[in-house]
Amino acid sequence: MKQNSSVSAPSVVKQSTIVEAAQRICGERGLRLTKLRLAALEEVAGNGPVTAYALMALLRRRLARRIDPPTVYRALDFLTGAGLVLRLESRGTYAVRDRPGQAQLCVLLLCDRCETTVEYEDPKILRLIEEEAIALGFHLGTPIIECSGTCQRCAGKMEVSP
């Protein structure tokens, strides 16, 4: 077993868990968790990876008022900045983080067949990237690596199907 790394089982993050994490993180960092931001977080948690436009529709229905795209993007910027939500660049969608508030490098394993996202952290990979970035004079932002493939469950279905 490798130390300091972990793989989480693909699961829908419980809304109560992510809300508690959001309240704790925002409290610690002096960030304001508005009603809209909280609603956006709960909708992302409850609906799996969603596009900004799908989230806008969910928020309009939930809050029963007109919400424009900039409002949704501002809420998503806040949630990604707080480490509560991840933007899946290759899919153009947003998902809640398995480990809210983590600023570590994160490797995302994205299933091509279903919506499963597995978040994986490995400090060794981060150190390698940091060393290369320093050598190249590059200032790292939030390092996220996305890998597409087939999740364990979908791979299992492929094997049993005739």
Q: Applying CB under 5 A, which of residues 76, 116, 117, 122 lies at the interface with Zn ion?
A: 116
The rounded distance, in Å, linking the Cα atoms of 73 and 150 is 30
Alpha helices in the chain (DSSP H): 15-29, 35-47, 52-63, 69-81, 123-135, 152-160
Minimum CB–partner distance for residue 20 and Zn ion (Å): 28
Minimum CB–partner distance for residue 157 and Zn ion (Å): 8
Does 26 participate in binding Zn ion (rule CB under 5 A)?
no
Site for Zn ion in 122-151 (CB under 5 A): 151
Q: Distance between alpha carbon 6 and the CA centroid of its chain, in Å?
A: 16
- CB nearer to Zn ion: pick between 81 and 156: 156
Q: What is the DSSP letter of 13?
A: P
Would you call 103 helix, strand, or coil by DSSP? coil
CB under 5 A: which stretch of 42-50, 61-69, 112-120, 124-132 binds Zn ion? 112-120
Q: Which residues make up the interface to Zn ion (CB under 5 A)?
A: 111, 113-114, 116, 151, 154
